[in-house]
Amino acid sequence: MARPNTKAYQKTDRMTLQINSFDEYKEVYKRSVEDPEGFWAEQASSFTWKKKWDKVLDWNFKEPNVKWFVGGQMNITENCLDRHLEERGDQVAILFEPNDPDAPNKTYTYKELHAEVGKTANALKANGIGKGDRVCFYMPMVPELAIGVLACARIGAIHSVVFAGFSAQALADRIKDATCKAVICSDYNARGAKNIPVKKVVDDALAMGCDSIETVLVHQNTGGEVQMETGRDKWWHEEVDGQPTDCPAEPMDSEDMLFILYTSGSTGKPKGVVHTCGGYMVYTAYSFQNVFQYKPGDIYWCTADIGWITGHSYIVYGPLLSGATTVMFEGVPTYPDAGRFWQVCEKLKVNQFYTAPTAIRALMAQGDEYVEQYDLSSLSVLGSVGEPINEEAWEWYHEKIGKKNCPIVDTWWQTETGGIMIGGLGSHSPMKPAHAGYPLPGIQPCLLDADGNELEGNGIEGLLCIKYPWPSILRTTYGDHERCRQTYFSAFPDKYFTGDGARRDKDGMYRIIGRVDDVINVSGHRMGTAEVENAINEHPMVVESAVVGYPHDIKGQGIYAYIITAGPVEDEEAFRKEVLAVVTKEIGPIAKPDKIQVVSGLPKTRSGKIMRRILRKVASGDTSNLGDTSTLLNPEVVDEIKNNALV
């Protein structure tokens, strides 16, 4: 296709919030730490506020209570859309690449996006949705998902996007937790060669007693057949098409909720991480412009799904706040073949490309011929996110994709942090394979030993915490503030604890080692081991289970489940399939164990705690030194587990 219009009405070639060299970074960083309030007030002042804040920051990490730009009023969509109309109204905002490589691209200029969001916002209002109401999204990666999310923000409704790969049960749990008033979904999801019935999953979820739901808005995507319940279910096009394009932006307090996004922790059920309007706006735009060094006219592509925080912050909000052209990709990296990403990079002349190590490893394994056919010379910055990137994948990405000309920004952050915390700033920062690098301005990381003492200097390793608030820190976990305090702010006084371990090398660069809690990272997706265990335990034959992560060539970590059954398992293969089916039903296919070992017992301490250290070692194929097992209640079980290990 012809390159879309991204060059309209440019006045400058540098973004407002951008740092332009590593020396400038050092200066800016210093200032951001010495005078955080002054620093962030300055960044915030480049946005459109309906009312200026009275106080930049109010905080304590005890309760916790963090408020940014207190008393200020704004609407994030005015900053994503209206603010750009004059200067770049005819520039492409969303560039949609459909699943089918032969289907035409669809584009929305800032003007068109503004109109679509206005119409959709009016349709939501007409259906009784207003400020503070929660709206659940369960949709594939189509432009209507971004439009719908922005329409909520326009009227002050709180969006809760659930990744469309989750099961009906998981969707129902999330709808109930946030007592959502509406669900917005598609009929079907065209994903690779598959056509996944999305509306059917919503129907199944709503049959599980989601009493708060009044409206289901169905976007016709593939046009496949669906059941519509009269009174409750409505077609997107019928509700939206006739609406006026103008919808006044609801004045929002800086600290009003913008969205809820569920994520897994080390215990039980997923928690609804809450982000608020003002701080999230400032930080996602600031980090987007600096990490990717986006220049007006560039085409930026993040391959994540909007169902995850990466999609929220770096497909929708960060790029649109910055007036960028952001690509939305409906498909998968391996359809029609493993060259799809690179074919799209060539076709759309992508400048900044942001993906996950698991995708890089999977494509690397398919061979270089898929890359070599394409002209990747438009690329200027490559990003990585979701898990530590191993050196081999880093080198391949750097050499084969970036042709050694593109910096790799390895971005460490979390659903809870809202935006990138540690990572390079385009080509300005020094880089080292597998190192995320230096903290962004305003971010004050520290490393602690197990007793909470801060480790000073370089060449050290410890628990990664953050000492001082940044604008997009989570404010609470929805409906359960105590859980937020307990999870993130109770391990070490006055610190936000990330759950990750990290190393600060001799040059002061951070290298993330991985989670130190019972969270595993499978293909860049966070999974609580307890959550997977709860799902497995739903199988009637299962007495108890223990789940651990183990190194996996493509996924980063695989899921290894040890299961005690109520009696002998006659047909292990059939049992395995049943367990996978239960997990798929309870959570979704992403949580399916890669390996299942039936055991007669689990190694337990005298206090009844499972000794996961042993299970992790066995799962990783390292049984040479299992450490001290003498304190176990049942040391004899260790030999059995070791001898039957699936490695």
* Distance between CA atoms of residues 307 and 142, nearest Å: 12
Beta strands at 408-411 and 381-385: parallel, antiparallel or unpaired: parallel
Q: Which is nearer to ligand WT7, 120 or 263 (CB)?
A: 263
Give residues with Cβ within 8 angstroms of 40, minimum separation 6: 32, 56, 57, 68, 282, 442, 471
Q: How many residues bind ligand WT7 (CB under 6 A)?
A: 22
Q: At closest approach, how far in Å is the CB of 609 from ligand WT7?
A: 23
Stretch that binds ligand WT7, among 71-79, 197-205, 492-500, 552-560 (CB under 6 A): 492-500
Interaction mask 450-489, ligand WT7, x per CB under 6 A: ----------------------------------------
What are all long-range contacts of 209-214, with beta carbons under 8 Å and residues at least 24 apart? 209/172, 209/176, 210/172, 210/175, 210/176, 210/180, 212/175, 212/176, 212/179, 212/180, 212/181, 213/175, 213/180, 213/181, 213/182, 213/183, 214/127, 214/128, 214/181, 214/182
Choosing from 439, 499, 556, 588, the residue that interacts with ligand WT7 (CB under 6 A) is: 499
Show contacts with ligand WT7 in window 393-422 (CB under 6 A). 410-415
**Nearest Cα residue to 47 out of 320, 292, 373, 446:** 320
Stretch that binds ligand WT7, among 2-10, 11-19, 217-225, 497-505 (CB under 6 A): 497-505
Q: At closest approach, how far in Å is the CB of 288 from ligand WT7?
A: 13
* Distance between CA atoms of residues 383 and 395, nearest Å: 13
Residues 5/92, Cβ–Cβ less than 8 Å: yes
SS3 476: strand
Q: Where are the alpha helices (DSSP H) in 376-455?
A: 391-396
Q: At closest approach, how far in Å is the CB of 383 from ligand WT7?
A: 9
Q: Which is nearer to ligand WT7, 138 or 262 (CB)?
A: 262
Q: At closest approach, how far in Å is the CB of 179 from ligand WT7?
A: 23
Stretch that binds ligand WT7, among 97-105, 493-501, 625-633, 635-643 (CB under 6 A): 493-501
Q: Where are the beta strands (DSSP E) in 8-91?
A: 55-60, 65-70, 73-74
Residues 632/596, Cβ–Cβ less than 8 Å: no
Stretch that binds ligand WT7, among 25-33, 112-120, 386-394, 469-477 (CB under 6 A): 386-394
Q: At closest approach, how far in Å is the CB of 357 from ligand WT7?
A: 8
Q: What is the DSSP string of 61-81?
A: TTTTEEEEEET-EE-HHIIII
Measured in whole angstroms, the distance separating CA 448 from the mean position of its chain's CA atoms is 26
Q: At closest approach, how far in Å is the CB of 13 from ligand WT7?
A: 29
Residues 105/96, Cβ–Cβ less than 8 Å: yes
Q: Is 355 in the site for ligand WT7 (CB under 6 A)?
A: no
Q: Is 425 in the site for ligand WT7 (CB under 6 A)?
A: no
User: Which residue's structure tokens are 């990137």?
Assistant: 389
The DSSP symbol for 270 reads -
Residues 335/99, Cβ–Cβ less than 8 Å: yes
Q: What are phi and psi of 150, to 5 degrees?
A: -70, -35
Phi-psi region of 297 (alpha: psi -120 to 50; beta: other; left: phi over 0): left
Q: Is 358 in the site for ligand WT7 (CB under 6 A)?
A: no
Choosing from 386, 402, 549, 593, the residue that interacts with ligand WT7 (CB under 6 A) is: 386
Measured in whole angstroms, the distance separating CA 322 from the mean position of its chain's CA atoms is 20
SS3 457: coil
Interaction mask 302-341, ligand WT7, x per CB under 6 A: -------xx-------------------------------
Q: Which is nearer to ligand WT7, 79 or 521 (CB)?
A: 521
Choosing from 173, 177, 233, 387, the residue that interacts with ligand WT7 (CB under 6 A) is: 387
Q: Is 526 in the site for ligand WT7 (CB under 6 A)?
A: yes
Q: At closest approach, how far in Å is the CB of 515 from ligand WT7?
A: 5
Choosing from 143, 165, 388, 558, the residue that interacts with ligand WT7 (CB under 6 A) is: 388
Q: At closest approach, how far in Å is the CB of 511 from ligand WT7?
A: 8
Q: Which is nearer to ligand WT7, 521 or 545 (CB)?
A: 521
Q: Is 521 in the site for ligand WT7 (CB under 6 A)?
A: yes
Q: Which is nearer to ligand WT7, 177 or 387 (CB)?
A: 387
Q: Which amino acid is at 118?
A: G
Give residues with Cβ within 8 angstroms of 360, minimum separation 6: 384, 389, 393, 396, 397
Q: Which is nearer to ligand WT7, 29 or 488 (CB)?
A: 488
Q: Which is nearer to ligand WT7, 189 or 523 (CB)?
A: 523
Q: At closest approach, how far in Å is the CB of 265 from ligand WT7?
A: 10
Angle ∠(233,234,240) on CA atoms, nearest 5 = 155
Q: Which is nearer to ligand WT7, 513 or 564 (CB)?
A: 513
Q: Which is nearer to ligand WT7, 363 or 638 (CB)?
A: 363
Choosing from 44, 145, 249, 436, the residue that interacts with ligand WT7 (CB under 6 A) is: 436
Residues 147/125, Cβ–Cβ less than 8 Å: no
Q: Which is nearer to ligand WT7, 37 or 507 (CB)?
A: 507
Q: At closest approach, how far in Å is the CB of 584 from ligand WT7?
A: 20
Q: Is 512 in the site for ligand WT7 (CB under 6 A)?
A: yes
Stretch that binds ligand WT7, among 52-60, 195-203, 329-337, 379-387 (CB under 6 A): 379-387
Q: At closest approach, how far in Å is the CB of 484 from ligand WT7?
A: 14
Choosing from 385, 409, 522, 596, the residue that interacts with ligand WT7 (CB under 6 A) is: 385
User: Which residue's structure tokens are 């400032």?
Assistant: 282
H or E segment and range at residue 170: helix 168-177
Give residues with Cβ within 8 angstroms of 88, minimum separation 6: 8, 9, 10, 110, 296, 323
Q: Is 284 in the site for ligand WT7 (CB under 6 A)?
A: no
Stretch that binds ligand WT7, among 112-120, 186-194, 364-372, 385-393 (CB under 6 A): 385-393
Q: Which is nearer to ligand WT7, 6 or 263 (CB)?
A: 263
Q: Which is nearer to ligand WT7, 254 or 310 (CB)?
A: 310
* Distance between CA atoms of residues 206 and 445, nearest Å: 43
Q: At closest approach, how far in Å is the CB of 387 from ligand WT7?
A: 5
Q: Which is nearer to ligand WT7, 68 or 394 (CB)?
A: 394
Q: What are phi and psi of 349, to 5 degrees?
A: 55, 55
Measured in whole angstroms, the distance separating CA 102 from the mean position of its chain's CA atoms is 29
- Using CA atoms, how far residue 30 sits from 27, 36, 334, 429, 443, in Å, is 5, 10, 44, 16, 11
Site residues for ligand WT7 per CB under 6 A:
263, 309-310, 384-388, 410-415, 436, 498-500, 512, 515, 521, 526
